[in-house]
């Protein structure tokens, strides 16, 4: 009997040791599921698209960016917009830099499953590379905006070059969808008064944001969700991205997006496109 007990105890201890030995690996595997999936996707559809610019090099920190945008919105009311009507509990999800062949379709899957529209600010060369994705965005009831041809530093360009960046992108979007957009989001969220006048004279309103998820930094889902819950208010425009700079960079976006939708709906928010939010 004693020998049998010893055998049972030994088996139990060995089983527990094996369990705990596997746990870290299992956790690591779970944390990297989307990165692994992205590598598999690369093998299936060719190289996964990555952005050729670095947000961190030219993005202003949140506080000076917000001060700049608020100042411009006061100087150019109805032209520079970072928020909708604060008396209506509505919010807009926006996605920059795409489309691509990995994050964009997964974001669209989530939006469709949740019955929520988004607004996609497209880079022209990305639209040219993935026209089927552009068409899908429109066909599924989402709005589109112009985000320049190749995400340049607008403040380093001539007026003619800025105009070309915008017009080339708009022509590409129209070629693919038959539609034109009158919304423009400046690369890096940076624009000066002279550029505002130029862009508005081309027929655009400039759309910034009131909630920055900082997902382009590779921010994890819990932090993204926390930021949204802290910063969101009626009329909010939430900034996210759908083209990464490195594999796995926007995994937090995919994980957080369904939670953002569920949490804000539970608080009574309605999700709309930017044109609806600003009454266009």
Catalytic residue annotation:
96, 241
Give CA separation, 169 vs 82, 145, 264, in Å.
22, 10, 33
How far apart, in whole angstroms, are the C-alpha atoms of residue 157 and residue 152? 8
Q: List the one residue out of 214, 211, 242 whose CA is nearest residue 228.
A: 211
How far apart, in whole angstroms, are the C-alpha atoms of residue 212 and residue 232? 10
Residue pair 173/149 in contact (Cβ under 8 Å)? The answer is: no
H or E element at residue 6: helix 2-31
Residue 52 class from Cβ within 10 Å (0-12 exposed, 13-18 middle, 19+ buried)?
exposed
Cis peptide before 99 (omega within 30 of 0): yes
CA angle (208, 279, 152) in 5-degree steps: 25
Residue 268 class from Cβ within 10 Å (0-12 exposed, 13-18 middle, 19+ buried)?
exposed
235: alpha, beta or left? (left if phi > 0; alpha if psi -120 to 50)? left
């Amino acid at each position: 009997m004693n020998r049998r007990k010893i055998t049972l105890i030994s088996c139990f201890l060995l089983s527990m040791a094996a369990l705990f030995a596997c746990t870290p690996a299992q956790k690591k595997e779970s944390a990297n599921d989307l990165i692994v999936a992205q590598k598999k996707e690369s093998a299936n559809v060719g190289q996964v698209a990555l952005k050729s610019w670095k947000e961190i090099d030219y993005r202003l920190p949140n506080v000076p960016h917000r001060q700049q945008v608020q100042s411009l919105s006061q100087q150019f009311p109805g032209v520079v917009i970072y928020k909708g009507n604060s008396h209506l509990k509505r919010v807009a999800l926006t996605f920059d830099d795409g489309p691509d062949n990995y994050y964009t379709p997964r974001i669209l899957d989530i939006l469709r499953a949740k019955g929520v529209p988004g607004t996609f600010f497209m880079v022209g060369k990305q639209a040219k590379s993935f026209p089927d994705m552009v068409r899908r965005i429109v066909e599924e009831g989402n709005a589109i905006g112009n985000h320049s041809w190749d995400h340049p530093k607008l403040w380093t360009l001539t007026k003619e070059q800025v105009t070309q960046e915008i017009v080339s992108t708009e022509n590409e979007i129209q070629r693919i969808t038959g539609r034109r957009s009158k919304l423009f989001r400046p690369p890096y969220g940076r624009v000066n008064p002279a550029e505002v006048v130029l862009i508005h004279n081309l027929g655009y309103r400039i759309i910034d944001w009131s909630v920055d998820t900082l997902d382009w930094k590779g921010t994890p889902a819990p932090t993204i969700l926390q930021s949204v819950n802290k910063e969101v208010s009626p009329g909010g425009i939430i900034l996210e991205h759908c083209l990464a700079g490195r594999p796995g960079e926007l995994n937090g976006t995919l994980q957080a997006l369904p939670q953002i939708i569920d949490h804000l709906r539970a608080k009574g928010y309605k999700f709309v496109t930017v044109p609806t939010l600003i009454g266009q």
